[in-house]
Structure 1
Amino acid sequence: MASSSLQPLKDSNLKIFIKTQFRTKPRPPPLEPTSLAGKTALVTGSNVGLGLESSRQLLSYGLSRLIIGVRSLPKGEAAAAGLRKQFPNAQVDVWELNMSSYQSIQAFISRCEAELPNGLDMAILSAAVANPAWKTTSPKDGKVHEEMFQVNYLSTALLAILLLPVLRAREGKGPGRLTIVTSNLAITSQFTNRNANPFIPSFDEPPKNGWGAQEGMDRYSTTKTLTLMLTQKLGELVSPDQVVVNTVDPGTVAGTAMSNRFPAWVKVVHSVIQLAARTVEEGAWTYLDAVAVKGKESHGGLCMNWDIYPFHPFMYTDEGKATTERLWEETIAELAEVAPVGQILAGMK
């Protein structure tokens, strides 16, 4: 497997930041303008920031049809209007997708099955949230979970698995491409509840000493570690001849909305860090590299700095492997209550 076979990094957050922001030269994807002609792509979280810019770049390389998956249809249509004007020969659709809701994800997949007889060629799952305050999902959306855990991991896992048959290789076409967006914080997270058993309920326990910006960032980092575990398991269970699955870190990028919910002092720190940030265009290049340039060599791996990187060091230990398996078993048990995830995965080998 792409990342599992590598030696774990022992670098600090600072060293990784310096490597990513100062010692790595961003580079655009080496694609011809018509490379994506005839292809259909999905990008979630695509009405702003990196999701929107990666959508624009896909279209600039000749993509024939783009589906924007967004929670707010008016905001999605506003973003799509600009893309349609810039790329009048492409079809740009806006479909509702609320990542807090299993029901919304199921409805989205039903629409894919009904309106995409030839399936999807590629999907970038970039929707995520970062909360400075404790927040849970609504009971009307299904089980109540802490929101970052729900959106960044559980719902992302459900959407990824349900998309596999839609992305599956078809006659005359190569494998589909599925890229899940992560963060380099994923490989240095504290992951304080790693030994919880059962695992999923531990994410829904409000912290005893309160929940502030630091706790919010710790949880965000941990949920991104979980996406590494998700990618590793999908890499093991899904044939790269059917769908190439990877995850990508865009690095620190200026102009994103990730810190919008945080207090002023966090925004000030974030603004200082962003003095070394990549542009939104450069950050989106990493998405296209992962979903359209990288091939089977990236299957089940982390794409970072235009290369394949190791996962969190914990994942290489016996304890970490046991945690990954426990998380996966609990995840499948929960998702199986709403969709035939086991059956889907069995058909992707």
Structure 2
Amino acid sequence: MPPLSEIASMVAGQIFTTVPVPAADFSGKTIIVTGANSGLGLEACKHLVRLNVFHLILACRDLDKAAVAKEQILASLPPDHPNTTTISIHHLDLSSFSSVTAFATDCITTLPRLDALIANAGIEVKHFSLAEGYEQTLTVNVLSTFLLGLLLLLPKLQQTGEEHNTETYFSVVGSAIQIFAPYNQLSQPNLFAALSDESKADMLNRYYLSKLLCTLCVQAVARRTQHLNHVIINCVSPGFCDTGLYSHFSPPLYTRVLLRVIGSSAEEGSRCLVWGVLGGRGSHGGFMSEGVVKEGGKWMGSEEGVKVRERVWREVVGVLEGVRPGVGEGLGK
């Protein structure tokens, strides 16, 4: 169990903080949102279109659902609001490394610029299954997310920042419930192989662990990209929201009760995603909750947490180098 102070802080933020509706102008900017066809991703896209994003890319596994989402996004605009946004739909299946590399290659070769990647897509499942040789939660939420981020980071985000003298973002959607992750599971050698052993897999806590891994990886990448003056990498918690996350299973009674009592709507949570790509240099490597940079948990800043972070990142890079040799080049040690 995490310290009671961390639990109290998370609950207090959920109950007493109202994240303001984002106000900015994204005119001229191109933004990718993964998992954009429902929940947080869909609602974030509605905000981005309202804020005049020039080119919005819906990166989704199900193209039919993405097409419906596109119509919902357009319909969400006020009648007197001019539609200045081009909305494109692209196939992206994070359970497939080849799909990730194909999508990234297409973006690199066809997009004149890329201002932000909002890595929102993720899954929570309670049954064990493999994807690309690893437990599917790890593949989708962690490995493919950072494969996509690294493939786009240097060739596109940094290039856009330099050419247009602007801040660009790789913003990963995490979760404050990472404080409940079983840290001791990260001490295993050959971590991703060990976590992908069905006979030992703790699926009850796997989602929590995947979100902790995301935050650790964001910190590791951010530390290695301090020399990239234009790119900002952060992790964003949307809070406890009623979204489509539980489409794969029925959540326990206490979760349903908490959602009803203190849960936010998907629209409210999506505000945090948009604030993530407005966080500024001060959010680089940071964990954002309720729209501002906060501490993601004391363990991550501890001596043990830092050691685990570096070891985890070396393992992630090892996996990704096997998928796309050289993917980690250009990052500091």
Residue in 1 aligned with 2:12? 19
Q: Is the 8 A contact 2:6 2:297 kept in 1?
A: no
1:96 corresponds to 2:82: no
- Check 1:44–1:220 CA distance in 2 against 1; reply closer, same or farther (3 A cut): same
Amino acid of the structure 2 residue aligned with 1:194 = L
Amino acid at match of 2:220: K
> What's the counterpart of residue 232 of structure 2?
244
Q: Take 2:184 and 2:138, find their aligned partners in 1: how far apart are those partners?
A: 14
Counterpart for residue 301 of structure 1: 286
Residue 107, structure 1, aligned to residue 92, structure 2: no
**1:11: how far off?**
3.8
What whole-Å deviation, never above 9, does each CA across 1:273-319 have from its counterpart, x for those lacking one?
A: 11211122211111111112x10000001001222122333222322
Give 3-state SS (helix, strand or coil) of 1:18's partner: helix
TM-score of the pair, normalised by structure 2: 0.90
> Which of residues 271, 287, 290 in structure 1 aligns to 2:256?
271
1:61-86 Cα distance to aligned partner (Å, 9 max, x none): 01111000001111111111232455
Q: Which residue of 2 aligns with 1:28?
A: 21
Are 1:336 and 2:321 counterparts?
A: yes
User: Equivalents in 2 of 1:13, 1:262: separation in Å?
Assistant: 28
Find the aligned partners of 2:290 and 2:73 in 1 and give their Cα distance: 27
Q: Secondary structure at the match of 1:345?
A: coil
The alpha carbon displacement at 1:200 in A equals 1.8
Match of 1:122 among 95, 116, 121: 116
**1:285 paired residue number:** 271
**SS of match in other structure, 2:87:** strand
Pairing 1:71–2:61 present: yes
User: Are the counterparts in 2 of residues 161 and 344 from structure 1 also a CA contact under 8 Å?
Assistant: no
2: CA distance, partners of 1:188 / 1:85: 39
> 5 Å matches for 1:198-237?
198-208=190-200, 215-237=202-224
Letter in 1 for 2:122: A
Contact 2:108/2:152, CA 8 A, preserved across alignment: no
Aligned partners of 1:290 and 1:303 also within 8 Å: yes
Q: Distance in 2 between matches of 1:86 and 1:316?
A: 41
Structure 1: state its 5+ residue gaps: 1-8, 138-142
Whether the aligned pair in 1 keeps the contact of 2:129 and 2:135 (CA below 8 Å) is yes
Q: Deviations over 1:187-219 (max 9, x none)?
A: 3312331211122211111144xx7xxx43411
CA contact (8 A) 1:162 1:344 kept: no
Q: Which amino acid aligns with 1:198?
A: N
> Secondary structure of 1:259's partner?
helix
Contact 2:104 2:151 in 1 (8 A): yes
SS in 2 for 1:337: helix
SS at match of 2:323: coil
Identity of aligned residues (%): 28
User: Deviation at 1:325?
Assistant: 1.4
Output the CA distance in 2 between the equivalents of 1:152 and 1:12: 27
- Preserved CA contact (<8 Å) 2:174 2:211: yes
Distance 2:5 2:146 in 1: 28
**Whole-angstrom CA distance in 2 between matches of 1:287 and 1:101:** 24
- Could you tell me how far apart the structure 1 residues matched to 2:269 and 2:304 are? 33
Letter in 1 for 2:62: S
Where structure 2 has 5 or more consecutive residues not aligned to the other structure, the ranges are 78-82
Question: Structure 1, residues 315-344: CA drift from partner, whole Å, max 9, x if none?
Answer: 223222222111111111111122222224
Count of equivalent residues: 321
2:141 alignment partner in structure 1: 152
Higher RCO (C-alpha 8 Å, min separation 6) = 1
**Please, what TM-score do these two structures have when normalized by structure 1?**
0.86
Q: Give the match for residue 300 of structure 2.
A: 315
